[in-house]
A and B are shown apart, each in its own frame.
Chain A
Amino acid sequence: MLTVEDLHSFYGRAHILHGVSFALAAGEVLVLLGRNGAGKSTTMKSLIGLVRPASGRIAFDGQDIAGWEPHRVARAGLGYVPEERRIFSELTVLENLEVGRRKPRDGRPAWTPERLFALFPNLAALRGRQGGRMSGGEQQMLTIARTLMGNPGLILLDEPSEGLAPVIVEQMADAILALKQQGVTVLLAEQNLHFAARVADRAAVIETGRIVWTGTMADLHGDEALRAAHLAV
Chain B
Amino acid sequence: MSVLAVADLHKSFGGVRAVSGVSFAVAPGEMLALIGPNGAGKSTCFNMLNGQLRPDGGRIALDGQDITGLAPRRVWRRGVGRTFQITATFASMTVRENVQVALLSHHRRIWRFWQPTSALFAAEADALLDQVGMEAQADRAAGVLAYGDLKRLELAVALANAPRLLLMDEPTAGMAPAERVALMQLTRDLTRRQHIAVLFTEHDMDVVFGVADRILVLNRGELIAEGDAAAIRADARVRAVYLGSGATSGGH
Measured CB to CB, the residues of A under 8 A from B are 14, 34-37, 135-138, 161-170, 172-173, 191-195, 198, 231-233
A36 and B176 contact, CB distance less than 8 A:
yes
Distance in angstroms from A37 CB to nearest chain B CB is 5
Measured CB to CB, the residues of B under 8 A from A are 36-39, 144, 146-148, 170, 173-179, 203, 205, 240-251
Write the chain A residue with the least CB distance to B245: A170
A166 and B177 contact, CB distance less than 8 A:
no
A194 and B248 contact, CB distance less than 8 A:
yes
Given A173-B247, A194-B249: A167 and B241 interface contact (C-beta under 8 Å): yes
Given A136-B38, A164-B203, A165-B36: A170 and B248 interface contact (C-beta under 8 Å): yes
Write the chain B residue with the least CB distance to A83: B174
Given A35-B176, A231-B177, A232-B177: A165 and B146 interface contact (C-beta under 8 Å): no
10 tightest A-B CB contacts, nearest first: A135-B39, A232-B178, A136-B38, A167-B244, A166-B249, A35-B176, A135-B38, A195-B248, A170-B244, A165-B37
A135 and B37 contact, CB distance less than 8 A:
yes
Name the contact of A163 in the complex, choosing from B144, B170, B178, B205 (C-beta under 8 A): B170
A-B contact pairs, 21 of them (CB 8 A): A35-B179, A135-B38, A163-B174, A165-B242, A166-B249, A167-B37, A167-B240, A167-B242, A167-B244, A168-B38, A169-B248, A170-B244, A172-B248, A173-B247, A191-B177, A192-B249, A194-B248, A194-B249, A231-B176, A232-B178, A233-B178
CA distance A34 to B178 in the complex (A): 11
A163 and B245 contact, CB distance less than 8 A:
no
Distance in angstroms from B203 CB to nearest chain A CB is 6
A165 and B203 contact, CB distance less than 8 A:
yes
Across-interface contacts of B146 in A (CB, < 8 A): 36-37
CA distance A116 to B242 in the complex (A): 24
Which of B173, B203, B248 has the most chain A CB atoms inside 10 A of its CB? Answer: B248
Which of A161, A172, A173, A194 has the most chain B CB atoms inside 10 A of its CB? Answer: A194
B251 and A194 contact, CB distance less than 8 A:
yes
Name the contact of A137 in the complex, choosing from B37, B144, B147, B205 (C-beta under 8 A): B37
Write the chain A residue with the least CB distance to B39: A135
A137 and B38 contact, CB distance less than 8 A:
yes
A166 and B147 contact, CB distance less than 8 A:
no
Distance in angstroms from B200 CB to nearest chain A CB is 14
Name the contact of B175 in the complex, choosing from A14, A34, A36, A173 (C-beta under 8 A): A36
A161 and B177 contact, CB distance less than 8 A:
no
Distance in angstroms from A49 CB to nearest chain B CB is 23
Write the chain B residue with the least CB distance to A33: B176
A168 and B37 contact, CB distance less than 8 A:
yes
B179 and A232 contact, CB distance less than 8 A:
yes
CA distance A30 to B154 in the complex (A): 34
Distance in angstroms from A119 CB to nearest chain B CB is 18
Across-interface contacts of A138 in B (CB, < 8 A): 38
B247 and A194 contact, CB distance less than 8 A:
yes
A164 and B38 contact, CB distance less than 8 A:
yes
Across-interface contacts of A164 in B (CB, < 8 A): 38, 203
CA distance A166 to B203 in the complex (A): 7
CA distance A136 to B250 in the complex (A): 21
Across-interface contacts of B246 in A (CB, < 8 A): 166
CA distance A194 to B205 in the complex (A): 11
Across-interface contacts of A163 in B (CB, < 8 A): 38, 170, 173-174, 203
